[in-house]
């Protein structure tokens, strides 16, 4: 065998081996090792079970399709539960306050979300206890210190650079703050919607920057959905008839425009090394409500778990509540929250959707991005 033939022979062996090595390395780089979750009741996995609060979901019929009530404000999984499954995480991300969320468990991620929580610290005060975003970040700081002590600085920063961080918050700042009946009327007269939105964005900027400074790099920021269309707003504003309530949606759209600019244009540029993704829940939920049949839904306006109100929006879901016949046909589980069926569609659109749903890249592509 001549030198040329030997070279070709060796190349024939080594080229496939190098390709396999490259692909294996790429798969390793794309693995999502952990999910750290911040937010409100849309993504709470049970933190409110451990605090004194009026906002709880650890009772039937919540969790009816999960197997038991867990503190999730839906019949089954939250949107981040489903996204975690799509990302290949073996287990649901546990709540920070659960006694078992300690030791090596936290290396796979932690859920800090709290029902009633908001961007502003006064948000949700009508519930008593709740963990607002500043406090959630304080809790993450504790977890971060535990991880640093466990695996050291270099490995911690590597873990955080590959992990997915998601923040789903802001709805309560409107529903249970600025738009709260009776409580907020004087505030609405003193503070314009524009000023209130400015306050939210200013506070959120500091909070997202703090999260980045802790080591988060792949950060999903979910906007506020069309809250004027939820059963609660429909029933508390009957003059809107069968239409979504206009003002809550108008102020939410104003906020979402500012949030998109903050995330996509400002923070993505100023926080070097960050990989921010803007998740447009408003667009997705609006599409579901406007075109329910296209997604297999039959009821787009009323709660599946209901007790009082034309749309079942006046009393939270609980033991006295009645249930709809087929939960998979309802977009809304209760006065405020989507059903498991709706969460599945939203999660899949955020995982694999185009830039109308999630910008500049979807979550699957974000997960595959090399860490920085």
Two tokens, residue 220: 């999903």
CA dihedral for 316, 322, 327, 329, sign (positive or negative): negative
- The model's pTM is 0.91
- Rounded to 5°, the CA angle 311-223-266 comes to 165
Whether 22 maps to a domain, the answer reads no
pLDDT at 14: 41
The CATH number of whichever domain residue 147 belongs to comes to 3.40.50.1110
pLDDT at 186: 55
Q: Over 60: is that where the pLDDT of 9 sits?
A: no
The span from the CA of 304 to the CA of 323, in Å, is 6
Q: Over 70: is that where the pLDDT of 334 sits?
A: yes
| Structural domain total, the chain | 1
Whether 45 maps to a domain, the answer reads yes
pLDDT above 90 covers what percent of the chain? 88
Whether 64 maps to a domain, the answer reads yes
What pLDDT, in 10s, does the model give residues 203-238?
A: 999 999 999 999 999 999 999 999 999 999 999 999
Whether 165 maps to a domain, the answer reads yes
pLDDT band at 11 (very low <50, low <70, confident <90, very high): very low
* Strand pairing report for 275-279 and 299-303: unpaired
Whether 342 maps to a domain, the answer reads yes
* Strand pairing report for 305-306 and 322-323: antiparallel
Two tokens, residue 11: 């190349």
What pLDDT, in 10s, does the model give residues 109-124?
A: 999 999 999 999 999 9
Q: Which of 17-26, 129-138, 333-342, 357-366 has the lowest mean pLDDT?
A: 17-26
Q: Over 90: is that where the pLDDT of 153 sits?
A: yes
Q: What's the rounded mean pLDDT across residues 91-103?
A: 98
The span from the CA of 327 to the CA of 305, in Å, is 9
Q: Which of 25-39, 126-140, 141-155, 301-315 has the lowest mean pLDDT?
A: 25-39
User: Tokens 């206890």 belong to which residue?
Assistant: 129
- Of residues 182 and 359, the one with the higher pLDDT is 359
Q: What's the rounded mean pLDDT across residues 20-42?
A: 69
pLDDT at 16: 43
Whether 17 maps to a domain, the answer reads no
pLDDT at 155: 98
Whether 8 maps to a domain, the answer reads no
The span from the CA of 360 to the CA of 276, in Å, is 8
Catalytic residue (choose from 337, 339, 340, 357): 337
The span from the CA of 17 to the CA of 11, in Å, is 10
pLDDT band at 108 (very low <50, low <70, confident <90, very high): very high
pLDDT at 7: 42
Q: What's the rounded mean pLDDT across residues 258-270?
A: 98
21 is catalytic: no
Catalytic residue (choose from 334, 339, 340, 357): 334
Q: How far is CA 321 from the centre of its chain?
A: 26
pLDDT at 30: 54
- Element spanning 180, H or E: none
Q: What's the rounded mean pLDDT across residues 345-369?
A: 98
293-298 long-range contacts, CB within 8 A, separation 24+: 295/345, 296/328, 296/329, 296/341, 297/329, 297/330, 297/331, 297/341, 297/342, 298/326, 298/329, 298/330
Catalytic residue (choose from 35, 41, 166, 171): 41
Whether 98 maps to a domain, the answer reads yes
337 is catalytic: yes
Q: Over 60: is that where the pLDDT of 185 sits?
A: no
pLDDT band at 187 (very low <50, low <70, confident <90, very high): low
DSSP state of 275: E
Domain range for 171: 34-368
């Amino acid at each position: 065998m001549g030198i040329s033939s030997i070279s070709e022979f060796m190349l024939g062996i080594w080229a496939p081996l190098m390709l396999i090595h490259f692909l294996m390395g790429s798969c390793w780089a794309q693995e999502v090792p952990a999910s750290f979750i911040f937010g409100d009741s849309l993504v709470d996995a049970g933190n409110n079970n451990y605090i004194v609060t009026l906002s709880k979901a650890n009772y039937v019929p919540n969790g009816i399709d999960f197997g038991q009530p867990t503190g999730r404000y839906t019949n089954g999984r939250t949107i981040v539960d489903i996204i975690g499954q799509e990302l290949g995480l073996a287990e649901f991300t546990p709540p920070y306050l659960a006694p078992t969320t300690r030791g090596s468990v936290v290396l796979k991620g932690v859920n800090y979300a709290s029902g009633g929580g908001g961007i502003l610290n006064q948000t949700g005060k009508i519930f008593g206890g709740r963990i607002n975003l500043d406090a959630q970040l304080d809790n993450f700081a504790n977890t971060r210190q535990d991880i640093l002590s466990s695996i050291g600085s270099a490995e911690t920063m590597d873990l955080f650079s590959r992990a997915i961080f998601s923040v789903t918050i802001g709805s309560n700042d409107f529903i249970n703050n600025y738009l709260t009946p009776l409580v907020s009327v004087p505030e609405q007269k003193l503070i314009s919607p524009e000023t209130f939105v400015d306050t939210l964005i200013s506070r959120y900027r500091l909070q997202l920057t703090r999260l980045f400074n802790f080591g988060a790099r792949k950060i999903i920021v979910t906007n506020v959905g069309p809250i004027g269309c939820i059963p609660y707003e429909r029933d508390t504003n009957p003059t809107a008839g069968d239409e979504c309530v206009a003002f809550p949606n108008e102020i939410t759209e104003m906020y979402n425009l500012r949030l998109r600019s903050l995330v996509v244009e400002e923070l993505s540029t100023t926080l070097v090394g960050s990989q921010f993704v803007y998740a447009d829940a408003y667009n997705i939920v609006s599409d579901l409500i406007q075109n329910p049949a296209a997604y297999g839904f039959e009821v787009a306006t009323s709660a599946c778990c209901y007790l009082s109100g034309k749309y079942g929006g006046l009393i939270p879901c609980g033991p006295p509540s009645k249930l709809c016949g087929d939960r998979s046909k309802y977009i809304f589980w209760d006065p405020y929250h989507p059903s498991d069926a709706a969460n599945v569609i939203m999660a899949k659109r955020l995982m694999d959707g185009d830039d109308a749903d999630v910008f500049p890249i979807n979550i699957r592509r974000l997960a595959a991005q090399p860490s920085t």
